Amino acid sequence: MALKALDIFKLLPKTNCKKCGCPTCLAFAMKLAQKQASLDQCPDVSEASKVELAGASAPPIRLVAIGTGPNKLEIGNETVMFRHEESFYHPAGVGVMIPDTLDENALKAKIEKIRKLKFVRVGISMHANVVAIVNASGKADPFAKTVKAASTLDLPMVLMSSQAAHLDTVLASCADKKPLIHAATGPTIDAFIALAKTHNCPLAVTAPDLDQLVPLVEKIRAAGLQDIVLDVTTPSVSRTLQALTAVRRMALKKNMRTLGYPCLVTNSTVDPLVNVAECSMFVAKYAGIVLTELDNPEQLMPILTVSQNLYTDPRKPIQVEAKLTGIIQTAAIAPGEAYRWGGMVDENLGGPTHQHFFNARLHMMLDGEANTVTEHEFVPRPWGADNPHGNVFDTTTRVLSRERDGAREADGRTGRYWKISNTNVLNSVGKAPAYKLAVTASPLLLAQEGSAVHRRAGFATKHVWITAYDPAERFAAGEYPNQHSGGAGLPAYIADNANIENTDIVVWHSFGHTHVCKPEDFPIMPVEYAGFMLKPNGFFAGNIAMDVPADSDPASAQHGASCCCD
């Protein structure tokens, strides 16, 4: 039975030495209980405690590090089968395989192509984070030459060769980079174990199926090696998927230590579209490393996008939270005089009332580019036969068809909100899956119309703007907000009143905070918050957390009982 955090804490040194990387022993105990740390991270734990805690505290899937430095790749240490149960923690390594059969120019071009596989999505940088060098030539010199060229990428490396001698030659010059040695098999396992022990590098192992893989892993563990990666690739995509799932399930549900290691998959499918789909599936279904021969940006980005989406905490909503703090502007006030432009923050000191504004540019692509925005409000239903008690209210729907229709204001009285959907795609109840834009009905721009601020900050006069996508329309206030005389930005973007229904659109949301200064804001104001949320609406056929087996009520009509009360 798993120990609780307090039970584990009682067996720790209780010195709060921080050697384990946690601020306190209790924090370390909590991570041990959650299988997010291993006992060997505490150098001062007693031998008696080690014996008692060894089985209970070890993560079900070992955390394995490949590479060194800031680009080190950590895989494994996952604790759940399904993301909604808790979260996935260590994103899969996604990388390109480089054969050692390329000539010098082709190799150089390949390296530069991989180097440029970097993207920014929703403000987060992502890139191919591992590279594999394949000893396709079967010779030592080309392999060493290709490894040397690939090492300039400063990425974790997977060295793939069936020849232990070739790997030994290469590792002599790059073992300090902690590459993954790939891959031990039944006939080569002794030589590969020796390599991993000599060079202190993680070792991958592979076999035709899990039944043959388990004894190989046991042999590696018996040799004292623990940094192991399981290559479960098979000639069949379905069998590979089954192997990935079985390894995860046996490690988590059955606590099978011989399979408690991260998995690796390689994909050489010729059709690039099918290859992308398969790699995305492997990322979603438990692979720790996915290696592909694809190297074009449009091929790698979808795979990285899947990884980015999966390895976010499902307990946190899709939201933007802007935090405002800092030293406020102040003005000296003569004794006995009132401050006419804001609030008093101290004796004879005032702070002006002001506004902070932000604008989020959301280039939506929900099930493709043909997107539509609808506006919804809650309204009471009139008295009548279908509302005899006066307690019924309805939700109205209005399609925003043109750009000028899309300049909208929030309304707290009616709970106005907007949904972005692709009306060409329907879910299980005949509605279009959508993102609901939930905003706060905060004050809009309060500067007088005609003022310099109003002319230049036209974007802040509406909470929501919808425009047809135009790559030149990048900034809500225009290209030069402090130089133009007025009217640039969103007011100019909607002047042509283009169609925004069932097309490629951009949703712009203006939000902010109106700040009335108070004594607590001086000299440094506490944090104020502003933001918005995007809520998935109608993506699933039901609640994805409802995985409890169905049951029935013996008192229900299904079992012959009356469905009505006496």
Confidence class for position 95, pLDDT limits 50, 70, 90 = very high
Give percent of the chain with pLDDT exceeding 70: 93
DSSP string, 356-402: EEEEEEEE--SSSS-BEEEEEEEEEPPSBTTBTTS--EEEEEEEE-B
Please, what is the Cα angle at 458 between 453 and 463, to 5 degrees? 120
Number of H helices, E strands in the chain: 13, 24
The Cα-based distances of 133 to 60, 176, 195, 475 in angstroms read 30, 17, 17, 43
Structure tokens at 530: 């502003």
Structure tokens at 32: 């041990």
Rounded average pLDDT over 375-402: 96
Residue type at position 418: W
The answer on pLDDT for 562 being more than 60 is no
The answer on pLDDT for 385 being more than 80 is yes
Rounded average pLDDT over 500-513: 97
Q: Give the pLDDT confidence of 222-233 residue by residue, as tens digits.
A: 999 999 999 999
Residue 551: predicted pLDDT: 59
Residue 255: predicted pLDDT: 82
Residue 311 DSSP label: T
CATH 1.10.15.40 residue window(s) in the chain: 5-57
The answer on pLDDT for 158 being more than 70 is yes
Residue 428: predicted pLDDT: 87
Confidence class for position 259, pLDDT limits 50, 70, 90 = very high
The SS3 assignment for 314 reads coil
Residue 550: predicted pLDDT: 57
Confidence class for position 540, pLDDT limits 50, 70, 90 = confident
94 beta partners: 290
Residue 541: predicted pLDDT: 77
Rounded average pLDDT over 58-72: 89
The answer on pLDDT for 378 being more than 60 is yes
How many other CB atoms are there within 10 angstroms of residue 33's CB atom?
Answer: 19
Rounded average pLDDT over 432-441: 93
Topology of the domain covering 318-537: Beta-galactosidase; Chain A, domain 5 (2.70.98)
The answer on pLDDT for 565 being more than 60 is no
More confident residue, 344 or 36: 344
Residue 465: predicted pLDDT: 98
Rounded average pLDDT over 285-309: 93
Furthest CA-CA distance within the chain: 93
Chain-centroid distance of CA 107 in Å reads 32
CATH 3.50.50.60 matches 64-310: no
Q: For residue 202, give every residue at least 6 positions away whose Cβ sits within 8 Å of its Cβ, in sequence order, or none.
A: 64, 65, 66, 178, 180, 181, 196, 227, 228, 229
User: Rounded to an integer, what distance in angstroms lies between the CA atom of residue 130 and that of residue 288?
Assistant: 11
User: Rounded to an integer, what distance in angstroms lies between the CA atom of residue 289 and that of residue 130?
Assistant: 8
The answer on pLDDT for 136 being more than 90 is yes
Task: Dihedral sign for Cα 323, 325, 331, 335, please.
Answer: positive
Rounded average pLDDT over 160-182: 95
CATH of the domain spanning 5-57, picked from 1.10.15.40, 1.20.1730.10, 1.20.144.10, 3.30.750.24:
1.10.15.40
Rounded average pLDDT over 138-164: 96
The SS3 assignment for 467 reads strand
CATH 3.20.20.20 residue window(s) in the chain: 64-310
Residue 8: predicted pLDDT: 85
Residue 355: predicted pLDDT: 95
Confidence class for position 120, pLDDT limits 50, 70, 90 = confident
Residue 315: predicted pLDDT: 67
46 beta partners: none
CATH 2.70.98.20 residue window(s) in the chain: 318-537
The angle that helices 104-115 and 140-150 make with each other, rounded to 10 degrees, is 30
Rounded average pLDDT over 453-470: 96
